[in-house]
A and B are shown apart, each in its own frame.
Chain A
Amino acid sequence: MPDTAITVTNLSKKYKIGHLQQRHDTLRDALADSIHNLGSQLRKPSTDKNETDVLWALRDVSFEVEHGEVLGVIGRNGAGKSTLLKVLSRITAPTSGRAVINGRVGSLLEVGTGFHPELSGRENIYLNGAILGMKREEIERKFDEIVAFSEIEKFLDTPVKRYSSGMYVRLAFAVAAHLEPEILLVDEVLAVGDAAFQKRCLGKMGDVARSGRTILFVSHNMVAIKNLCEKAIWLDFGKISAFGMSSDVVNNYLQSTTLGATMTERVWNDSSQAPGNDLVRLHKVCVRPDSGPPNGNISMRTPLILEFEYWNLIENSSIDIQYILITEEQTIAFESSSSFQSEWRGTLAPRGLIKSKCYIPGNLLNSGIHRIALRFYQDSKRIYELEDALIFEVFDTTERNGSWYGKFPGSIRPLLIWETEVHSKEIL
């Protein structure tokens, strides 16, 4: 067997956007258009088709996947990930380039493709299996396993239209999970079902990945990509932006996507333009990793420094800055204040620039977007407040041995120490 499972060379796929609007949905349009085109061709014969009407969903994509390798594909929506899978699954043809796949291919672009609501669970297992490319004998052999995995034994002969959506998804995934090609192309099928079910799906994916099969895995779940895949491709506007070890590619990708959406540093040099009032004006707010580059990624493990610089405009006033940290779920994770530092509390500050730093330890925050809201207090009276002073994202980049790659519940996610031991073998 050749060494590479998948060899992709200069693969490109073009969609005509202009034609999406003036699609020849009716014969009349087609006729009118072809007459129109003929006319315009007669007038200016050699002009090329407008390049602006063209969208390159994939452009000159080349890469190789070895046998037994698990390759992740990441990128924002519309970057060409799904198109790549569709071309490799032979659902749609490329515009140019070539791909060679050595081995039996199975693709999973969604679960439950071809399920028919009128047919029973049993019948749908056979139908769906055949649609996914399984042989009848193969389905018969795995039938009991599929039923056991789906946990729908009792409803096997009920039409699936009577199923709850949970049962439906479980059955659909059970069939898909028992597809055993040499090369598996998977698209985000894991984004279905409730948390408990996703956990099992990812567990099954992990088993498949460890069984030595070649997998191309498209997902938005960076934790899953990092844990399941050795290598990853980052697609951006149809081109390969990065290709390498999955942890590096994921980090680069995360860094690029969060710029813009977040505000990790803000500076106002002109005190008359800065947020504030005639008692206090902001000069600078910033959040950064305690060590490493100031714009580096913030993961759950990263210790952080929050920096606040402001002008105190009232001579000899006791001034404090306080902030609250708001999580993605719009709950307050905690509140903290410069008055917590006993040396500063009650100090009468002169007019001038004041700098405060607050250290947030690593292994405390949960993953997701966090926002900082500021409040200034003077002599225990709130004098100014600013919502969304900073917005930053904490990434989940932990290695996980288990099968759960979703977000942990809770406003914070501290790393706590546990001690468990077998105390005695006696049962009293």
Chain B
Amino acid sequence: MQEIRSYNKLTQTTHQTVIEPGNAWLLPEVKSTWHYRELLYFLVWRDIKIRYKQTALGVAWVILQPVASMLIFTIIFGLLLKVPSEGVPYTVFAFSGLLPWYYFSGSLTRASTSLVTSSNLITKVYFPRLTIPLSAILSNLFDFGISFLLLIGLMLIYRLPITASILFLPFFLLLAIITSLGFGLWFSALNVRYRDVNYIMPFIVQMWMYLTPVIYSSTLIPEQFRFLLALNPMTVVVEGFRWSLFGYASTLSPQAKPLIALGIFIMLAVLFTGARYFQKTERTFADII
């Protein structure tokens, strides 16, 4: 009975596809990605499911990398170099920066290789290609979630108060997702044509981390140059995380509002141009991948 009903439903729908050269516009592209949201869900689910399969430590890997970095940075910058950490124990300070940073760098790296590693899908099946880098970035939220719980644990151990400003954290996480997606779209589409991206990525990610106040505080930078930091969208994300966690802010002080606005503007500009470039090149992916 159900079978018949659904078949009738099928035949009654008038679903027209027009295939022409040239590019679709951005909006229909976003619409069809939404239409394929179930596939997005399955790809995210697959990524999470297989990520740590056949590893001895399994999900422990999610925690190991940020924790190990945190310990090393604590020893070098906190204990030896005594980098100021705005009244927060350096360990927590570093981890609160590493949390959004690792989300961003992991998402960016996965997104930029995502199309190339899915070439078997791209050459055999149609679905909105946007789904592929998007699923890489969303599946990384799983790692983020686990690390976040660890951070809350650290804050409890160090008896740091958790204030109402933590409610803003999802907003800054959203900014991190937008930034990852913007750059991820650029790099993933470029990677289809230029495999140089694979070699450049580790270098970019490493440099970028030092240009972002992840393991140091932006107060180390003289006030008149601090606007330069805001050109880096990740500064807004990292500082935003610290502000919502510890209620302190350097670049995020009230007089810094234009800087935040500038950072968000840059993020959106990268997202828009990235989506445009991606969508302009995606119809040739199957031919050149």
**With known contacts A86-B286, A141-B2, A100–B19 Cβ distance under 8 A:** yes
Q: Which parts of A177-208 form the interface with B (CB within 8 Å)?
A: 180-182
**With known contacts A102-B16, A114-B121, A141-B2, A135–B38 Cβ distance under 8 A:** yes
Are A113 and B127 within 8 A (Cβ)?
no
User: Would you call B223 an interface residue if the criterion is a C-beta within 8 Å of the partner chain's C-beta atoms?
Assistant: no
Give the complex CA separation of A304 and B13 in angstroms.
Answer: 54
Interface SS of B by simple majority:
helix
Give the complex CA separation of A227 and B56 in angstroms.
Answer: 54
Residue interface bits A123-144, CB-to-B below 8 A is 1, else 0: 1001100111101101001000
User: Would you call A98 an interface residue if the criterion is a C-beta within 8 Å of the partner chain's C-beta atoms?
Assistant: yes
Give the complex CA separation of A57 and B125 in angstroms.
Answer: 19
Q: Which parts of A110-161 form the interface with B (CB within 8 Å)?
A: 110, 113-114, 116, 118-119, 123, 126-127, 130-133, 135-136, 138, 141
Are A119 and B49 within 8 A (Cβ)?
yes
User: Would you call A94 an interface residue if the criterion is a C-beta within 8 Å of the partner chain's C-beta atoms?
Assistant: yes
- What is the total number of residues of chain B having a CB less than 8 Å from a CB of chain A? 42
Q: Which parts of A16-62 form the interface with B (CB within 8 Å)?
A: 23-28, 30
User: Would you call B31 an interface residue if the criterion is a C-beta within 8 Å of the partner chain's C-beta atoms?
Assistant: no
Tell me, rounded to whole Å, the shortest Cβ–Cβ distance linking B5 to chain A.
Answer: 11
Complex interface: chain B residues within 8 A of A162 (CB): none
Are A118 and B50 within 8 A (Cβ)?
yes
User: Would you call A15 an interface residue if the criterion is a C-beta within 8 Å of the partner chain's C-beta atoms?
Assistant: yes
Complex interface: chain B residues within 8 A of A123 (CB): 46, 49
Complex interface: chain B residues within 8 A of A92 (CB): 283-284, 286-287
Complex interface: chain A residues within 8 A of B46 (CB): 116, 119, 123, 127
Complex interface: chain B residues within 8 A of A88 (CB): 19
User: Would you call A90 an interface residue if the criterion is a C-beta within 8 Å of the partner chain's C-beta atoms?
Assistant: yes
Are B19 and A109 within 8 A (Cβ)?
no
Residue interface bits B163-188, CB-to-A below 8 A is 1, else 0: 00000000000000000000000000
- Choose one: A87, A109, A136; the contact of B124 (CB below 8 Å): A109
Binds A, one of B105-113, B149-157, B192-200, B252-260: B192-200
Most A Cβ at <10 Å: residue of B7, B17, B20, B53: B17
Complex interface: chain A residues within 8 A of B50 (CB): 116, 118-119
Tell me, rounded to whole Å, the shortest Cβ–Cβ distance linking A127 to chain B.
Answer: 5
Are A91 and B21 within 8 A (Cβ)?
no
Complex interface: chain A residues within 8 A of B10 (CB): 104, 180-182
Are B195 and A26 within 8 A (Cβ)?
yes
Are B17 and A126 within 8 A (Cβ)?
no
Complex interface: chain B residues within 8 A of A110 (CB): 124
- Choose one: B6, B127, B196; the contact of A27 (CB below 8 Å): B196
Residue interface bits B48-75, CB-to-A below 8 A is 1, else 0: 0110011000000000000000000000
User: Would you call A428 an interface residue if the criterion is a C-beta within 8 Å of the partner chain's C-beta atoms?
Assistant: no
Q: Which parts of A341-388 form the interface with B (CB within 8 Å)?
A: none
Residue interface bits A74-103, CB-to-B below 8 A is 1, else 0: 000000000000111111111111111111
Are A25 and B194 within 8 A (Cβ)?
yes
User: Would you call A1 an interface residue if the criterion is a C-beta within 8 Å of the partner chain's C-beta atoms?
Assistant: yes
Give the complex CA separation of A89 and B122 in angstroms.
Answer: 11
Give the complex CA separation of A97 and B18 in angstroms.
Answer: 11
Q: Contact size class for A?
A: 35 or more
Closest to B54 in A: A118
Complex interface: chain A residues within 8 A of B127 (CB): 131, 133
Tell me, rounded to whole Å, the shortest Cβ–Cβ distance linking B203 to chain A.
Answer: 14
Are B193 and A15 within 8 A (Cβ)?
no
User: Would you call A242 an interface residue if the criterion is a C-beta within 8 Å of the partner chain's C-beta atoms?
Assistant: no
Are A132 and B125 within 8 A (Cβ)?
yes
Give the complex CA separation of A92 and B39 in angstroms.
Answer: 20
Complex interface: chain A residues within 8 A of B288 (CB): 23
Give the complex CA separation of A92 and B287 in angstroms.
Answer: 7
Are A101 and B120 within 8 A (Cβ)?
no
Closest to B282 in A: A93
Are A130 and B42 within 8 A (Cβ)?
yes
Give the complex CA separation of A123 and B42 in angstroms.
Answer: 10
Complex interface: chain B residues within 8 A of A98 (CB): 18-20
Complex interface: chain A residues within 8 A of B6 (CB): 138, 141
Are A127 and B15 within 8 A (Cβ)?
no
User: Would you call A411 an interface residue if the criterion is a C-beta within 8 Å of the partner chain's C-beta atoms?
Assistant: no
Closest to A101 in B: B17
Subset of 19 A-B contacts with CB under 8 Å: A1-B14, A25-B195, A92-B283, A92-B286, A92-B287, A94-B19, A94-B20, A94-B21, A97-B21, A113-B124, A114-B120, A119-B49, A127-B46, A133-B127, A138-B6, A141-B2, A180-B10, A182-B10, A182-B11
CB-based closest 10 A-B pairs: A93-B283, A99-B19, A90-B126, A130-B42, A101-B17, A92-B286, A118-B53, A113-B124, A118-B50, A130-B39
Mark B residues whose CB is within 8 Å of A. Answer: 2-3, 6-7, 10-11, 13-22, 38-39, 41-42, 46, 49-50, 53-54, 120-127, 193-196, 283-284, 286-288
Mark A residues whose CB is within 8 Å of B. Answer: 1-2, 15, 23-28, 30, 86-105, 107, 109-110, 113-114, 116, 118-119, 123, 126-127, 130-133, 135-136, 138, 141, 180-182
